[in-house]
Every structure is written in C-alpha cells, then in structure tokens.
Amino acid sequence: MAPTHALRASELFSVKDYVCVITGGGSGIGLMAAQCLAANGAKVYILGRRREALETAAKSHNPEGGGEIIPLGPCDVTNKDDLEKVEAEVSKREKHINLLVCAAGIQGTKAEPNEEHAPSLKEKLWNQESPDVWNQNYNTNVTSVYFTTVAFLPLLQAGSETHGHLSASVIVISSMSGIMRHAQGHFSYNSAKGATVQLSRLMSAEFQKVRVRVNSIAPGYFPSEMTAKESGPDQKSELPPEKVMSKGHDVPAQRAGSDEEMAQAVLFLTKNAYVNGEVIAVDGGVLNVVAGR
C-alpha cells in the first residue's frame, strides 16, 4: 500500500536515472519523447540517419539539470550492421536500458483512390505506386522495429532486473492509420502501420518471457517532418489547425496534438509496469468518426 506522498505526479512519472534509447529521435514524435524523458530525469540516447539533425536536437532541447539528450549515430535502422554498432556503443556506456522507443518511420507515396471507373482507378494506382516503395515502407516501418527491438533485448532485460519485473519496456510508435479503414491515399503506409500494430502485440506476448513489456502509441496528427514536410532550426515542426482540418475527414479536436499530450502518453507507458500489449490511440478523436477495425 502506497503512502499518499508516493502518488504525487512527480513521483509517479519520474524517470530519474532511467536510460532510454529512441530511434528517429532527431525530430517529430521521437524528439517529443526524448524531451519529456530527459525533462523528468532520464539519460536519453537519440538515433537517426542524420548526425547533424541529432546534434541540433540535443543542443536545442537538453533540459537544465536532471536528464540529458545524447546524439548517437548516424544509424540507419533498416541496416543490421548499424543496429549492432549502436547497440555495442550503448553497451559500452551503460549496463542496461529501461526504455526503447521505436519512432523512426517514413510515409511513402500517395495514390488517392478517388476514381469510380475501374480502368481509371487501376491506371492511377498502378502508375503512382511501385513495389520498391512498398518494400521500403515495410522495411522502415515494420521490419526495422522488429530488429531494433531484438538488438536491445539483453540491455532491456538487464533494465528489468535492475528496476523490477517487467519494468523495462518498448514503446512502438505506430499510427491511427494502421487501425482505420480509410486509406487516406496511403495504401503502403497504412498497411505497414497496421503490421506495426500487430508486430507490437506479437512482441508483447513473446518478449514478456525475458521480462520486457511492449506497447504501442498510435498517434493522430502531430507536428513532425512527415506531416509538416519540414523542421525548423531547432528540429521542431508546426502543423496549423487549418492543415489538420483539410485531411478529408473530421478531426474532433480541430487541431494537431501537442508535445505535452504525446509526453503524457510516453510517460504513462514508460512507468506503468502493469500495462503490456496495448495500443493506445492519441488521435484527437479521429477514430470515433472514421471507421476502424
């Protein structure tokens, strides 16, 4: 039974002395996760393909006092050699990690299925999509999540042995697009994110035997290089409400999600060791109005 003071938010969600690794940590949701974890006391290693972007993110957003954001890489998460190198580097510096966030991802091409004449629909989809793009999408959004998680399993298990049974975890950033039936013109991306959701569930069931939890966050519209198409000089992006409301379906929140709202989801899944195998949509209510599974 916990004393009342132990139920303060500062106690419940403190990640002081945690060691975290985040792929895609130089921008977007990966950077949001890095900021919130470092702000609450964690040492956070961010990985990405662009060393300059990682260094800029760390320099711009390291908190004063407490935790820190440390750039590591470059690392292409679709390359097993790169994953082995960064895992070895983290192992040299740390005896364990408490959290892995798989946030790296790509969107791919768009082919809107808005033709009502089948030959025209075939021509459009056939010409605007390619198997190479589909394979790249799956490789980045699904396959890399699996191999990144597998690479860090020993360090994660050591984290649970340090802080308690099933305390170490993986947070997979999937998408509301992997749950809905609306293609949004992104057949390859949405189907890949659907596979990412299922992969998260599979890993949660299989990896609990090594005392590692796996959960997923399925974001709606959040500012990132993917949604805004650019980052500012501090590696942050902006997504104005009018752009969110032009997506072709209702967005009940009428705006993009905030850094604070993503941070709340990340901290919850990081600290609550009784949650395993869940997919949490943080989508502003979109899945209430767009058909899901």
List residues with catalytic annotation: 174, 189, 193
DSSP 193-233: HHHHHHHHHHHHHHHGGGT-EEEEEEE-S--SHHHHS---T
Angle at 220 between CA 249 and CA 226, to 5 degrees: 100
- Give Cβ neighbours of residue 223 (< 8 Å, ≥ 6 apart): 28, 236, 237, 238, 239, 256
* Beta partners for residue 218, in sequence order: 281
Instruction: Tokens for 163, please give them.
Output: 């802080």
Contact yes or no for 210/153 (Cβ under 8 A): yes
The number of C-alpha atoms within 13 Å of 252 and in the hemisphere containing its C-beta is 9
Instruction: Tokens for 143, please give them.
Output: 């396959």
C-alpha–C-alpha distance, residues 208 and 270, integer Å: 15
C-alpha–C-alpha distance, residues 89 and 204, integer Å: 26
Give 190: exposed, middle or buried? Use CB within 10 Å, 0-12, 13-18, 19+.
buried
**Helix 144-163 / helix 187-207 crossing angle, nearest 10 deg:** 30
